């Protein structure tokens, strides 16, 4: 198990920690005896750390030439789990509409389906550069929504996180279309 794969697994392990800090388990009851805003700040920090592992695992894998099939498989799943968990939590908290989450999650199902079909032929489809940009924008949007747009909120009252989320939706739709177009022959055979 190389370092990039360990970072990917660490990202997956951080997801329940993130959720424990952010969400009540029942009504307003939390597992940990901390104020809601403190839990939200800790969750934002955990989300940031998890997001950084996404960047680091790829950089380390490419720099040290230790890109593996396992990493190509698990890294996008870890990203999907992190982003989907965060979106669902933000819907539960009333911070975002379900619409962007539905679009983002639907695209993830479609791309995962394409990857499953390709894997039956022994082909592993790694994340495209457009897909990586989409993930990057999604993670930034979620972070700013979690922090209530801090530190940008010091300068403006614009809901930057929500604007970024809709920009992420545009990247999501376009990158989903790109995956379909690039892999259409594998799908219809």
119-155 confidence digits (pLDDT tens): 777 777 767 788 889 989 999 999 999 999 988 888 9
What's residue 184's pLDDT? 83
Q: What is the pTM of this model?
A: 0.89
Segment 10-29 shows an average pLDDT of 87
What's residue 140's pLDDT? 94
Rg (CA), the chain: 17
Would you state the structure tokens that stand for residue 57, as one six-digit string? Answer: 């695992």
What's residue 49's pLDDT? 97
- For the chain, the helix, strand and coil percentages under 3-state DSSP, each to the nearest 5: 75, 0, 25
Does position 6 have pLDDT exceeding 80, yes or no?
yes
pLDDT averaged over every residue in the chain:
89
Phi-psi region of 94 (alpha: psi -120 to 50; beta: other; left: phi over 0): left
Interior/surface letters 149-173, b for 16+ CB within 10 angstroms, e for the rest:
beeeeeeeeebbbbebbeebbebbe
The CA distance from 165 to 156, in Å, is 17
The CA distance from 54 to 20, in Å, is 21
What's residue 160's pLDDT? 95
The residue among 67, 47, 170, 120 whose CA lies nearest residue 39 is 47
CA 178 from chain center: how many Å? Answer: 19
Structural domains of the chain, ranges and CATH numbers in brackets:
3-188 (1.20.120.1760)
pLDDT bin (cut points 50, 70, 90) of residue 52 is very high
What's residue 20's pLDDT? 93
The CA distance from 7 to 53, in Å, is 6
* Residue 180 host element (H or E): helix 160-188
pLDDT tens string 60-105: 988 988 888 788 778 888 999 999 999 999 999 999 999 999 999 9
The residue among 131, 141, 130 whose CA lies nearest residue 164 is 141
Does position 32 have pLDDT exceeding 80, yes or no?
no
Tokens 């990158």 correspond to: 175
Does position 31 have pLDDT exceeding 80, yes or no?
no
Residues 6+ positions from 50 with CB-CB distance below 8 Å: 11, 14, 15, 18, 82
What's residue 27's pLDDT? 67
């Amino acid at each position: 198990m190389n370092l990039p794969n360990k970072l990917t697994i660490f990202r997956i392990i951080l997801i329940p920690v993130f959720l424990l800090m952010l969400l009540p388990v029942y009504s307003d009851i939390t597992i940990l005896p901390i104020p809601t805003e403190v839990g939200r700040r800790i969750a934002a920090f955990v989300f940031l750390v998890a997001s950084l592992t996404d960047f680091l695992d790829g950089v380390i894998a490419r720099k040290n030439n230790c890109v593996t099939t396992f990493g190509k498989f698990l890294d996008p799943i870890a990203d999907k789990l992190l982003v989907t968990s965060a979106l669902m939590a933000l819907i539960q908290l009333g911070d975002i509409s379900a619409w962007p989450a539905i679009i983002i999650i639907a695209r993830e199902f479609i791309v995962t389906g394409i990857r499953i079909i390709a894997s039956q032929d022994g082909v592993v489809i790694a994340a495209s550069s457009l897909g990586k940009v989409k993930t990057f924008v999604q993670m930034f949007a979620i972070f700013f929504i979690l922090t209530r747009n801090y530190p940008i909120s010091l300068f403006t009252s614009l809901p930057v996180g929500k604007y970024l989320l809709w920009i992420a939706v545009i990247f999501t739709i376009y990158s989903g279309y790109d995956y379909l177009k690039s892999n259409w022959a594998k799908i219809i055979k």
